[in-house]
Chains A and B, each alone.
Chain A
């Protein structure tokens, strides 16, 4: 019997490391859908990289059976959300599938930038918010202080906050109970035309795309012909079901429910998060609100270290793309690195995830070029060109002016770090600062900054100047005029196109020098002196050199034992394989990203 009154759809949102995943694990454990023996920590974050970094990249969903104090059996649909600012659109779609959220706050760290950002997202969707103060077992836990922040900074009633230690399991049962009590059951009408929100999709090598949906109206069952609103494409449904820890096939999904739809969709790229599914025969009048295409904002090229690996790389990207609709790529080529791909990412973290997965899961040696944002050039001819690849930098003589994307950064930090962060933001060309003191000793600061500055060594320095106590969030706002130049790197007089960067003119010299110094550190000494230069056009603006080896030969190579020597040299040959030859210079993989690291603390 379908009784929406027994369904609760909720999500857990938190600042990174505040214990979201641990709480999710506890809820799953408490629901008894997994036995102790197979219980793994952080079941929802099931990608290896996610597990290692303690963050969630993709959404997951799980239906938790729960018998509440009122004696009735509920289904609590937990929709996990990506925990990083790169994926805020994915978060918003997951939240759109819920009626309520658990807003988890670390009892020691208190409210942080992502706590606030997540709260705003939840409020936008008009969700019931249950504040949960987690990690109350920590010696540094300060519950009264956190309650004060909940009142002052979040505007919520601190008396409604639940206390728990997900790690130790205390207070978790009460969380379950309050989900039932406070979060309203889903509305919707199962007799109306089908309207289902796609909040995620995953690729299954046997079944194709598995769409994760929340039904707002109507029902969907196997055999139905469905239509995706944004593309108009129609598919016949093969299977529907809901999630326990694995897919559980069901007759139908009805209004208010969360589950999956399999409809013979070959690639995940055909499905867009945020899109609406309806019936082809009896469509809903309009799509559910909030759909937009997620657009990449950070771009970099990926090249195989060994040219022979190009085909393997192409295959790996194709396969990777199956499960990551927000990743885009196209062919690219470089004089220095040969054939490769230009790729677009939602942010730097997304980029790192893709890089790691390609190396780990596909065992590929790759070179990633310095990331770039997408610049806009207004040419004297009146034409506007968007450039995210330094290789496509327009002829400087043809440029009327340039624009670059700006973000609004929101930072929350103890006020003792204010000076240092202000300086950092100003160094990063930040402008228009706004300060707000949400509670004593804490500052909320907003700055408008070029996105390019954030991808260039911002996080590390921010973390360092705030000693880890600052939190950071951002959103793209607009494009603004900027003075840009193309900074080239030359190795022994030869331009390495893959190391070129588009930079602000005022920063060209320091950036050029930093790049030269980084390369000096990363490129191992070789047989010849290596000159590294940074140039704008034909003007050399910075230079470093790497002194050559003077002696590298074994004294004795006789007695006939040539084998030992050969093995030694073959090892060196192997080491060379991990490097890219540019002219006569071997450049290690690490050098290509190192140019983006600055040396100031």
Chain B
């Protein structure tokens, strides 16, 4: 357990850590390009040089193991001078791309130049030309001129995604990042190389030129695309609707959580947000026409207002309803809908057919809250088996309340003749008497329980599209109309009631869960 001093502050760390890791523990920020806590240490960028007393020369903080009695200075005059020199070399052949570069605003060359560089350019020669806009895979583009050869992406593909597509090609000043022959950067984690690229060399095709990053606002959230529940950040903006064709959510980024996803997330989750602003989003309630449809025809769906739609739904659900939930229903919503239909009613949780999991994060279970449904006493129904289960549930019930959009096919095939009320953010077509538009996960507050039973909180970033309402608010209104015991429309209150009733959640509050999540109870 070495004890060392960094900028006069003393810290004791476990042996094996390097100086930069010890400094991070202390909150002393040492600049870095090639060092990444999730990757092996390479020590090639030289920006993290620090002064260590009794060492003959400046040394890199990322490769030097912390040793007992070390005295480290991270911003002494020799260190400043060395950093200026490193930056000057890194910027020698850097193109004047900031105006067209996606990374401007999030670029460590810019940040460190202002913080540590701020020297006057002395470069009078002509810049080296390299390949630009290289298509290296379905999701990522490479610009070799912007690259500073930190090799974070190479190490990522070797160590984390274990697909090994990228490597360093050529020699000397002509060294560049490239693909191995016959390979494409095409793996489930390819988007992560854009996150870890400290400059603008790797850009995301999905995000490219959509919006300048400094217009984006960020909200901590949880990925809803599989039962892992990777911690993410939702980057969104609404003040400039002329950017990105009116999109509101522009990208999802992983948020570091050592216990769940560390620094990574998969491409399924990363690019799976487009449904948020999709044209299929339902913006106002629909009601089936009262007129008798022709033989073999479905009754046409007519837009209506919330008051009428809720009234109609409450009438239909008065007759011994059964409940089928799927998709991104939060713990609070699962609990609220269960309350709404009554404890004795059939409550099913539909899960799409599982896909094969991979070595890192993706679980194959395409639902963020299966564990939560289990804890809440739902019967889990899977894939094709769902048809039978839904038919059985519907057979005994007087009405069917369907929450979520994942199983409209099963619903069709179940072919029950009882009235169906659907609460869903998306709607194409299907057999239902009332369809109520609900908010998607970035438009509401709540929690998911991941496959290990960890309860994680996601926060509201956007207002629901159109007149859509969060599922909890709909449950609350329906409870009022149906004369059931009141359900709070506010996630914090609903969670408190849930925690009081369901033993697996006892002792938790939304505030205490915070952005780190509440570990599973054993």
A, B: real partners: no
B interface residues, Cβ below 8 angstroms from A: none
A interface residues, Cβ below 8 angstroms from B: none
